[in-house]
Structure 1
């Protein structure tokens, strides 16, 4: 099960990330997970939000370039080496990890990890065969 993530391309200038976040707030969009990667000229703000369609519409109307893609959201043990044991599944299958970000919720002893992998179908199959819980959109809303 893949989850849709939005990526917002923002100039690396003061106030641009705040403007994107404010655009979402004004559209009543809740951010469930967030990651920022930057270069000298621009950044990529990756988000899992409560309503992708509404978020994309609001952001594009406000002049942002937005892309939607699939990521895998899963639980890993919130303990030393918890993430590494999951990454070993991908190493064993020869699946390349493009990027990862994570957060810990107060409701569980599990950390939540967002991953983009080179071969998403193969990655999902590998996770399922190793009994690693993959979250869907409903699960994320309840975190």
Structure 2
């Protein structure tokens, strides 16, 4: 109900590669809802959340990109100083080991989305809900267009 798929695309660390991927998705009418790019000296990992991840994966793989599906959860937090640390404190206290996270600000509504991944998403979901942290239902992501 709260888990959704994030795509991780492996990119050679070359000028213009991010444009090529985002343009390819745009040409195929695929909207990007969240994006995070991490790089090393030789390659980058582009993490994307899109409403139609199966179509996006197919389009990218047809162009020979390596694409991995990873389940994530999106928590809703207040977009104020301390909003993030209050959630991280709960996770620390509950001994949740995050593999990574990234945030998306929602602008004028003073809320932000926090995309989270850990080895045990069921435990993460349980802890967040137990502590009254709202989660974004997956159907809001998949029906976003």
TM-score interval (norm. to shorter): over 0.9
Paired residues, what number?
A: 143
Q: What is the distance in 2 between the residues matched to 1:57 and 1:119? A: 27
DSSP 3-state at the match of 2:109:
coil
Per the alignment, do residues 69 and 133 of structure 1 end up closer, same or farther by CA in structure 2, a change over 3 Å counting? same
What is the alpha-carbon root mean square deviation over aligned residues?
1.5
Unpaired runs of 5+ residues, structure 1, are: none
Q: What is the distance in 1 between the residues matched to 2:40 and 2:137? A: 31
**2:83 paired with 1:82:** yes
Structure 1 runs of 4+ aligned residues shifted over 4 Å read: none
Q: Deviation digits for residues 66-111 of structure 1, max 9, x if unmatched?
A: 0111011010111000011011111111110111111111362211
Question: Structure 1 residue 118: deviation in Å?
Answer: 2.8
Does the CA-based 8 Å contact 1:7-1:45 persist in structure 2? yes
Map of 1:104 onto structure 2? 105
TM-score by length of 1: 0.94
Q: What is the distance in 2 between the residues matched to 1:131 and 1:15? A: 42
TM-score by length of 2: 0.93
Does the CA-based 8 Å contact 1:12-1:41 persist in structure 2? yes
